[in-house]
Amino acid sequence: MKIGVVGVGYVGLSTAVCFAMKFPTVAIDLEKARVSALNEGQVPIHEKGLEALLVKGLSSKRLKFSLNPGELIDADAIFIAVGTPGNQDGSIDLSQVRASCKDIGDVLKSSTKRPLVLMRSTVVPGTARRVVKPLLEDGSTKKCGTGFGLCSNPEFLREGQAIQDTLKPSRIILGSFDDFSLRSASSLYRTFYGKKPPPVLATTPEGAELIKYGSNSFLATKITFVNLLARACELFPGTDVNDVARGMGLDPRIGAQFLQAGPGFGGSCLPKDVRAFIKSLRDMGVDGSMLESVLQINEVQPEHVVALAEARSGTLLGKEVAVLGLAFKAETDDLRESRSIALLERLSQRGASIRAYDPVAMEKAKTELDYVVYSSSAKDCIKGADLAIVMTGCRQFKSLKPSDFVRLMRSPVLIDARRIYDPRAYSRGINYVGVGLGERAAL
């Protein structure tokens, strides 16, 4: 069996290196520099375990990267994993999906096999049927179900854990158009996962597309919900959102995960997917205002972190503010829709003098934000600062001791926007504020 992957972003690349553990795999991309670097074993993104698998795949000769879609000609299964960036109105840009379908259509036309196409890119409900299938059928002059197979097969990979999530996914969703497509996809995954396959759910293509948007919108809603509760907790002395979340999470119908209050959700997926889903619902005549509220609440969360800082420090004008964490979450270099960037903009508007540190995302940040002074370590960042704001839960930040803040800062005001510290320990000698934590005075 030979595997093809179109698009080597973090989804395509994780898929390619993992499938190359078992099958010959060729991954196609348009970007020359990226393809050459990958063929040299250089990873373009920060992803745990990726480099090792890439090097292994290349040296086993089972994995290669190419600019030429013609290399997909003898593939048995082709994953479409190209980007679907958001447009201004919330809709998604399908130009990369269309271009890849055109390339794959040409390949299917000359193929002597009946390959399976798996739609991995995130697309709104109805896209596989309205866009992908007709483009593949027109390009190949073959029918889906007889000439080739097609399944909507969304991914649920978390950045930073994409390899682990590919090798041990929570579920495989197969939204198929016909029996042949479903049989081919089931057989591919059975062969890949062997004795311990993940749960497989078969549904329609639209069902699969909705599972993807439903999952990400639900996760975003859960985070926003806990952030809303955090605001309420802050009004009651001694009340802690972490206790409230734990108490709720013990109910198996609610579940404990994704109830960590913080500065809001960011990244390349959750915000974009919620916006796209709202737009798609609107286009279908369905009122998605509940999700609009989720986005609105998320949008003001960085402003709320600034308000917490001002409540303790007074005006931020001319203050030395240390921001720990720049990426959208810990241990990644991805700055897309990072709440930390939203915070930095607000701090800068208030005339604060900003220094920042992130163990992984600094180099990227330097190319994007020129009004920030970059520190060489977490300790260097807080040294001499009037105020420190923790925006991600990086290990390096967790290992800072209360005495570090007391000793190094000019005036130890600490805003823990991720709740990584124990308030009791970090309140001694420190003006400590945690998101979702009522004033300690009444404890």
Q: Which of 161, 150, 94 is nearest to 122 (CA)?
A: 94
Looking at the DSSP bridge assignments, the partners of residue 116 are 77, 149
Q: Which is nearer to ligand UGA, 275 or 329 (CB)?
A: 329
Q: Which stretch binds ligand UGA (CB under 6 A): 83-91, 101-109, 151-159, 368-376?
A: 151-159
Query: According to CB under 6 A, which residues from 328 to 387 bind ligand UGA?
Result: 328-329
What lies within 8 Å, CB to CB, of 73 at 6+ separation is 107, 110, 111
Q: Which stretch binds ligand UGA (CB under 6 A): 56-64, 155-163, 345-353, 430-438?
A: 155-163
If binding is defined by CB under 6 A, does position 155 make contact with ligand UGA? yes
Selecting among 18, 269, 381, 394, the annotated active-site residue is 269
**Structural contact between residues 205 and 152, judged by C-beta atoms closer than 8 angstroms:** yes
Cα distance between residue 209 and residue 158, in whole Å: 18
To which H or E segment does residue 54 belong? helix 50-59
**Residue 187 to residues 81, 180, 190, 277, 402, Cα–Cα distance (Å):** 20, 11, 5, 31, 55
State the binding string over 405-434 for ligand UGA (x if CB under 6 A, else -).
Answer: ------------------------------
List, in sequence order, the alpha helices (H) in 127-269.
127, 133-140, 162-167, 179-193, 205-233, 241-249
C-alpha 351 chain-centroid distance:
31
State the binding string over 269-288 for ligand UGA (x if CB under 6 A, else -).
Answer: xx--x---------------
Out of 265, 277, 357, 397, the only residue in the binding site for ligand UGA (CB under 6 A) is 265
What lies within 8 Å, CB to CB, of 297 at 6+ separation is 224, 227, 228, 264
Q: Catalytic site residue 18?
A: no
* Cβ 260 to ligand UGA shortest distance, Å: 3
Q: Which is nearer to ligand UGA, 133 or 329 (CB)?
A: 329
To which H or E segment does residue 66 belong? strand 63-66
**Residue 200 to residues 12, 81, 166, 203, 271, Cα–Cα distance (Å):** 20, 20, 14, 10, 27
* Cβ 270 to ligand UGA shortest distance, Å: 5
* Cβ 368 to ligand UGA shortest distance, Å: 17
**Structural contact between residues 6 and 103, judged by C-beta atoms closer than 8 angstroms:** yes
Out of 23, 156, 193, 374, the only residue in the binding site for ligand UGA (CB under 6 A) is 156
Out of 7, 105, 262, 325, the only residue in the binding site for ligand UGA (CB under 6 A) is 262
What lies within 8 Å, CB to CB, of 6 at 6+ separation is 12, 27, 28, 29, 69, 72, 78, 79, 80, 81, 82, 100, 103, 104
If binding is defined by CB under 6 A, does position 76 make contact with ligand UGA? no
Q: Which is nearer to ligand UGA, 23 or 258 (CB)?
A: 258
List, in sequence order, the alpha helices (H) in 234-322.
241-249, 270-283, 289-313
Q: Which is nearer to ligand UGA, 144 or 417 (CB)?
A: 417
* Cβ 370 to ligand UGA shortest distance, Å: 24
State the binding string over 220-259 for ligand UGA (x if CB under 6 A, else -).
Answer: ---x----------------------------------xx
* Cβ 12 to ligand UGA shortest distance, Å: 12
- Between the two ends of the chain, the Cα-to-Cα distance in Å is 64
**Structure token pair of residue 389:** 């704001």
**Structural contact between residues 328 and 337, judged by C-beta atoms closer than 8 angstroms:** yes
Amino acid in position 333: D
Out of 57, 69, 149, 267, the only residue in the binding site for ligand UGA (CB under 6 A) is 267
State the binding string over 87-126 for ligand UGA (x if CB under 6 A, else -).
Answer: -----------------------------------x----
* Cβ 157 to ligand UGA shortest distance, Å: 5
If binding is defined by CB under 6 A, does position 159 make contact with ligand UGA? yes
If binding is defined by CB under 6 A, does position 397 make contact with ligand UGA? no
If binding is defined by CB under 6 A, does position 24 make contact with ligand UGA? no
What residue ranges bind ligand UGA (CB under 6 A)? 122, 155-159, 216, 219, 223, 258-260, 262, 265-267, 269-270, 273, 328-329
Catalytic site residues?
269
